[in-house]
Amino acid sequence: KAGVTQTPRYLIKTRGQQVTLSCSPISGHRSVSWYQQTPGQGLQFLFEYFSETQRNKGNFPGRFSGRQFSNSRSEMNVSTLELGDSALYLCASSLGPDWETQYFGPGTRLLVL
């Protein structure tokens, strides 16, 4: 069974630009969560989607948004990029919202210059 895939794996952007990251969950998984990982703040929850609906949201500004499609694939968008948005963005999938185990993708490493 294929694992969680994320594209692109690496991205370099400049301040003020916007970026869209993509996540394809494991086949049959309907919940997708997004996390930001930085050396200073560690792992922080961004949002969770299930059946195309955002179920939970972390404490991030409105520049961070996401969506989920009917095939469970998810995208997250960051508008007006700031230097502090440089991070590893991880996507995780699980069977459903009351998950026991989340399976993580390899991540997208974003560098904002």
Partner 1 sequence: ELKVEQNPLFLSMQEGKNYTIYCNYSTTSDRLYWYRQDPGKSLESLFVLLSNGAVKQEGRLMASLDTKARLSTLHITAAVHDLSATYFCAGRNAGNNRKLIWGLGTSLGVNP
Where along the sequence are the contacts to partner 1 (CB under 8 A)? 33, 42-45, 48, 55-58, 90, 92, 100-107
Nearer to partner 1, 17 or 54 (CB): 54
* Closest distance to partner 1 from the beta carbon of 10 (Å): 12
* Cβ neighbourhood burial of 97 (10 Å; 0-12, 13-18, 19+): middle
* Closest distance to partner 1 from the beta carbon of 15 (Å): 25
> What is the distance in angstroms between the CA of the first residue and the CA of the last residue of the chain?
37
**Cα 7 from chain centre:** 10
Nearer to partner 1, 59 or 70 (CB): 59
